[in-house]
Chains A and B, each alone.
Chain A
Amino acid sequence: MSRADAVTRILFEAFPAAEVRLFYVLGYAAIAAFAYGAYVQVRKYRRGAALALDGGLARRLGDMAALVLTHRTIERRDPAAGRAHRLIFYGFALLFLGTATITLQYDILDPLFGVRFWQGGFYLIFSLVLDVAGVALVGGLIYMMYRRGWLRPPKLDYARPDRAPGDPDFDRPQYRREDWAFLWTLVVIGLTGYVLEAARLVWLQARPDVWDTRWWSPVGALLAESFRALGMTDHAGGTLRHGLWWFHGLIALLFIALIPATKVKHIFTAAASLMVRDPLAAQRLPRIPESQAQPGVRTITDFNWKQLLNLDACTKCGRCHEACPARAVGAPLSPRDVILSLREFARATLESGKIPQAAELDVHGKAPGQVAQETLWSCRTCMACVEICPVAVEHVPIIVQMRRKLVEDGAMDPLLTKTLQTIHKTGNSFGESKRKRAAWTKSLPFPVKDARKEPVDVLWFVGDYASFDPRNQKVTQTFATLLHEAGVDFGILYEAESNAGNDVRRVGEEGLYEVLANANVAALAGATFKTIVTTDPHSYNTIRNEYPDFGGTYRIQHYTTFLKQLFAEGRLRVTSPLSYRTTFHDPCHLGRFNQGYDAPRDILALLGCELVEMTRNRSNSFCCGAGGGRIWIPDPVGSEKPAQNRIKEAAAIPDLQVYVVSCPKDLTMFEDALKTTGNEGRFVVRELIELIREALPAPRAEEATA
């Protein structure tokens, strides 16, 4: 019958029944292998510690679907890879859906209910769509091969910064082999699919319902025409089709069976990882549950199931490796390699029937799969890795939780140990008496209200560096003067303020953090205010995101949004616009951590400055290197510091006059780096507050000397 609505493809056409049965046996075997493999993986995750997720499953599913379908996280900072992966993803997804559709009719709806839909017009459009999908898939894959083999971006170099050439796991050739095997296998499946299609067309060229509709499978048809032109007979086509069918089928089934054991599983693990992500992973670190005996992570099973899942979601894309400031200056840390090491470790220990003894599960050390102390201590907790990871791996909490164990063991640099003891004793990292915290107020010509004693509108949480460091004290005094001139009713906590604890927590001294957080929350509870303002991004982050876990929830702003508001309200007015050529360094804890990118830029525009962005700006800002407690850990002799790397980046801007920062630690680090990179005299480092002061000079001459 030659009715158009009956056009379809007869499955297993001309196959002996035994072969069909064999195929089904193999098919079920492949699915069983897949299921078992999946079970082993899920069992591995369940061997981790428990974790309760917040937020509804439906909302998480929706968010994940949006991320996956838009590919937003993959195209960031690498649009070419984003496009190619989109092609592969949609191509593969469509092809998979196609096969599922066929299975749905052939194995379920038709035999059980006699329903057939895969025919006629639907069938033709279906064929076209899948042909296009195949082109997309193969095209994307070929681009990826070109990228990997020809372009060779540095982030795909698997050499580890914490190993030397010659070490067993230095550059992991097995990863490269697996990557290429994956690419080739899919390409072969794709290409053989087309050849198979063409072979069938040649074989059935005598049938009008096949041959006349061949252009609905354009690639197949093109190939079929070429085959015919080369002399292929319909008989030859049939033979080719039969053989190739088995070849294509077997590879595909093998592919499916091996998914849980290969990189291909990222289809599931990446999606799952995106679904269980914590958008505040690095900004709000987890508390140690009371029930937990040992703080931090010592064994692989101390990680929770989400972290074990994260390990498997990693596709070795290298974006975190590329973004990491420690790695960029040669420190023995690559966030990618922390994840991959732990992944290999989990694979080696948690995928068999029995879990080895606790002693063999220790993830700290220098053996393959373990993470060394130097690696963990190199981290600046700047969250560049977490922020850019397309599959929502949360590296920073993993590193911090491993650090908690190191702290418990006292395995720290002596200077860090001393600083922690100093903070415990005096409440600040400078070792100064508590009474000296507000010493900077003494030289001001006006009194600063004591928020412990009287209510204020704005409670200004000053922070350690801003209070005790002489260079930063000048900025603090300038800010106080600006607030005073704007008529803001503000006060500070004087001696009742302690180090906010952000970096203490990120070092891994959770016990000391709890002491500090509780002390500050208690001090704030004793004060009456409407909002908190801080000049310190580290304090801003922890008060905003982490203090709620300690019973302290407040309205808090960084000074940039607060001052911008004052400008908008006319309480501050630029009277003497600046025309500097500036660049702005986004502080990690304000920008990447809390999306505070715009206010500082708006202020610079208000001041009349010309802003030239550095290449690495906003969410890609390059950390000054002081975070994660690194300001309390000496850098190795002779190495480049992240701040120097960053200043050199700024120095590449022609005629740059001012390098603008809005964080006390940034000010300290970059003024130092300006000198040590030999750029002193070429441009200056200024706090935004200082530029604001310059643009609205003090009303009276006497105050100008304050």
Chain B
Amino acid sequence: MKILVAVKQVAALDEDFEFTPDGRDVDPDFLIRDLNEWDDFALEEAVKIKEASSTPVEVVALSVGPDGADEILRKCLAKGADRAVRVWDDAVAGSDPIAIARIIAAAVRREAPGLVFAGVQSSDQSYASTGIATAAFLDWPHAAVVSQLTYAPGAATAVFRRELEGGLLHEVEIPCPAVFTIQLGINTPRYASLRSIKQAAAKPIELMSPAELGLDSAQIGEAGSASRVRRMYVPEKGRAQLIEGNAAAQAARLAAIIREFKGEGA
């Protein structure tokens, strides 16, 4: 069977970043990119199922992103994915999670996996939506915030636990094929040595365009999105009142705050 893992190359802000001239995004020169932390756990979960299985399981890493995203796909190949696929053309730019989900769903239809994994959310835009929206486009059973998964490749159902607020777990049985968004801490993602990443560079990454997946321009990019960015700005941060002085002075002030809270006086 096949497990498809949707991964995203997320961006973090560098020092002294600047916005693009239209004020709707950050200048890409100031973005530091890496594999989304949640997707690392999702990929590891898929590879674990593959390694524990007595029947062959193929893990396919899929990303919707420009050239630079090949870097994270290579990392996924180094970590145990068998194949990697990237979908892009310029028309995809400006897509929100709903539009991305439409593209992922089209790729899923082409690949026909038995399970689809995604991360609960991305560390940059934290929408927590792409995976579940994909499930809707596929009309597949779905579950979010999965912190534990029990699945035998080829089985008709899986049992998962989702992690609720307040430290509660909800255990549910779900028919497969299904879409799961995977939570941090479900496993310990393996390390991909640089050598293995370099060797993975020899493996091809299949590049597809949305058109090849049967999507037209109205379904992707801004046109296919459920929201549109008007502007991006640095908010006036509520700033903490900084306690100055050396460590002893700072600790003394903190002690005073604590004593005041306890009603003991400063």
A–B proximity contact (CB within 8 A): yes
Q: Give chain A's interface residues, CB within 8 Å of chain B.
A: 288, 295, 407-408, 410, 412, 414, 417, 420-421, 424-426, 433, 435-436, 509-512, 514-515
- In the complex, what residues of B have CB within 8 A of residue A295's CB? 193, 195
Per-residue contact bits, chain B 180-196, to A (CB 8 Å; 1 contact, 0 not): 00000000101111111
Mark each residue of chain B from 195 to 211: 1 if its CB lies under 8 Å from any CB of chain A, else 0.
11110000000000000
Q: How far is A162 from B198 in the complex, measured between Cα atoms in Å?
A: 35
30 A-B pairs whose Cβ atoms sit less than 8 Å apart in the complex: A288-B195, A295-B193, A295-B195, A407-B191, A407-B193, A408-B193, A408-B195, A410-B190, A410-B192, A410-B193, A412-B191, A414-B188, A417-B191, A420-B191, A421-B191, A424-B194, A425-B34, A433-B14, A433-B15, A433-B32, A435-B16, A436-B15, A511-B193, A511-B194, A511-B195, A511-B196, A511-B197, A511-B198, A512-B193, A515-B194
Task: Tell me the bound Cα distance from A433 to B198 in angstroms.
Answer: 24
A510-B195 Cα distance, complex, nearest whole Å: 8
**Complex formed: what's the CA distance from A512 to B198 in Å?**
10
Q: Kindly count the residue-residue contacts between A and B in the assembled complex, taking CB atoms under 8 Å apart.
A: 41
**Nearest residue in A to B190 (C-beta to C-beta)?**
A410
What is the interface of chain A mostly: helix, strand, loop, or mixed? helix
A485–chain B nearest beta-carbon distance, Å:
29
Q: Which residues from chain B contact A436 at a C-beta distance below 8 Å?
A: 15
Query: Which A-B residue pairs are the 8 nearest by beta carbons?
Result: A511-B194, A410-B191, A511-B195, A435-B15, A512-B194, A410-B190, A433-B15, A417-B191
- Complex CA–CA separation, A435 to B13 (angstroms): 12
- Residues on A with C-beta less than 8 A from B195 are 288, 295, 408, 510-511
What number of B residues sit within 8 Å (CB to CB) of A? 15
Task: Please report the C-alpha to C-alpha distance between residue A515 and residue B193 in the assembled complex, in whole angstroms.
Answer: 12
Chain B positions within 8 Å of A414 at CB level: 188
CA distance A425 to B75 in the complex (A): 12
- Closest Cβ of chain A to B47, distance in Å, is 12
List, in ascending order, chain A residues with CB within 8 A of B192's CB.
410
Q: Which of A288, A414, A425, A511 has the most CB of B within 10 A?
A: A511
Contacts of B32 in A (CB 8 A): 425-426, 433
For B197, the chain A residues whose CB sits under 8 A away are 511
A436 to B15, CA, bound (A): 8
**Which residues of B are found within 8 Å of A420, using beta-carbon distances?**
191
Tell me the bound Cα distance from A410 to B190 in angstroms: 6
Taking A425-B32, A435-B16 as given, write out 14 further A-B residue pairs in contact, using a Cβ cutoff of 8 Å, ordered by the A residue number. A288-B195, A295-B195, A407-B193, A408-B193, A410-B190, A410-B193, A414-B188, A433-B14, A433-B15, A435-B14, A511-B193, A511-B196, A511-B197, A515-B194
Is there contact, CB below 8 Å, between A509 and B193? yes
B1-29, CB under 8 A of A: which get 1 and which 0? Answer: 00000000000001110000000000000
- Contact yes or no, A514 B194, CB < 8 A: yes
Rounded to whole Å, the gap between the CB of B9 and the closest CB of chain A is 12
What chain A residues lie within 8 Å of B196 (beta carbons)? Answer: 408, 511
**Nearest CB in chain B: distance from A693 CB, A:** 22
Measured between alpha carbons, how far is A435 from B196 in the docked complex, in Å? Answer: 28
As a 0/1 sequence over residues 149 to 188 of chain B, the CB contacts with chain A under 8 angstroms (1 = contact) are 0000000000000000000000000000000000000001
- Chain B residue at minimal CB-CB distance from A515: B194
A285, chain B: closest CB distance, angstroms: 15
| B11: min CB distance to chain A, Å | 12
Q: Which A residues are in CB contact (< 8 Å) with B14?
A: 433, 435
- B contact residues around A435 at 8 Å (CB): 14-16
Question: Which one of B16, B188, B195 has the highest number of Cβ atoms from chain A below 10 Å of its Cβ?
Answer: B195
**Cα–Cα, bound, A246→B235 (Å):** 99
B residues within 8 A CB of A410? Answer: 190-193
Task: Name, among B16, B188, B194, B198, the residue most crowded by chain A CB atoms within 10 Å (CB to CB).
Answer: B194
Chain A residues with CB below 8 A from B190, complex form: 410
Bound-state CA distance A426–B34 (Å) is 11
- Minimal Cβ-Cβ distance residue in A for B40: A421
| Cα A407 to Cα B188 with chains together (Å) | 15
Contacts of A512 in B (CB 8 A): 193-194
Smallest Cβ-Cβ distance to A414: which chain B residue? B188
Query: Distance in Å from the Cβ of A242 to the closest Cβ of chain B?
Result: 69
Min distance, Cβ B30 to any Cβ of chain A, angstroms: 9
**Chain A residues within an 8 Å CB radius of B191:** 407, 410, 412, 417, 420-421
Cα–Cα distance between A512 and B195 once the two chains are bound (Å): 8
> Which residues of chain B have C-beta atoms less than 8 A from A425's C-beta?
32, 34
Chain B residue contacts of A426, Cβ below 8 A: 32
CB distance from A291 to the nearest CB of B (A): 14
A244 to chain B, nearest CB (A): 65
Across the interface, which residues of B come within 8 angstroms of A433, CB to CB? 14-15, 32
Q: Which residue of B lies closest to A439 (CB)?
A: B15
Q: Name the CB-closest residue of A to B192.
A: A410
Please, which residues of chain A bring their CB within 8 A of the CB of B15? 433, 435-436
Complex Cα gap A193–B177 (Å): 87
Smallest Cβ-Cβ distance to B198: which chain A residue: A511
B198 contacts across to A, CB distance below 8 A: 511
A417 neighbours in B (Cβ, 8 Å): 191
**Chain B residues near A514 (CB-CB < 8 A):** 194
Nearest CB of chain A from residue B28's CB, rounded to whole Å: 15
Task: From A288, A421, A436, A514, name the one whose CB has the most chain B CB atoms within 10 angstroms.
Answer: A421
The complex places the Cα of A510 from the Cα of B193 at a distance, in Å, of 9
State how many angstroms separate the Cβ of A523 from the closest Cβ of chain B.
Answer: 19
Bound: A420/B191 CA distance, A:
9
CA distance A410 to B198 in the complex (A): 16
CA–CA, A412 and B192, complex, Å: 12
| Chain B hits for A509, CB < 8 A | 193-194
What is the chain A residue whose CB lies nearest that of B13?
A: A433
Determine how close the nearest CB of chain B comes to the CB of A193; give it in whole angstroms.
59
A493 to B155, CA, bound (A): 58
**Contact residues in B for A511 (Cβ distance below 8 Å):** 193-198
- Bound-state CA distance A433–B191 (Å) is 22
- Cβ distance B149 to chain A, nearest Cβ, rounded Å: 21
Alpha-carbon distance A475/B217, docked complex (angstroms): 58
CA distance A511 to B193 in the complex (A): 7
A127 smallest CB distance to B (angstroms)? 65
CA distance A646 to B131 in the complex (A): 55
> Roughly how many angstroms separate A417 CA and B40 CA in the complex, as a whole number?
14
CA distance A433 to B16 in the complex (A): 10
In the docked arrangement, what's the CA distance between A412 and B190, Å? Answer: 10
Q: Considering the chains assembled together, what is the distance between the CA atoms of A512 and B34 in angstroms?
A: 16
Q: How far, in whole Å, are A273 and B190 apart by their CA atoms in the complex?
A: 39
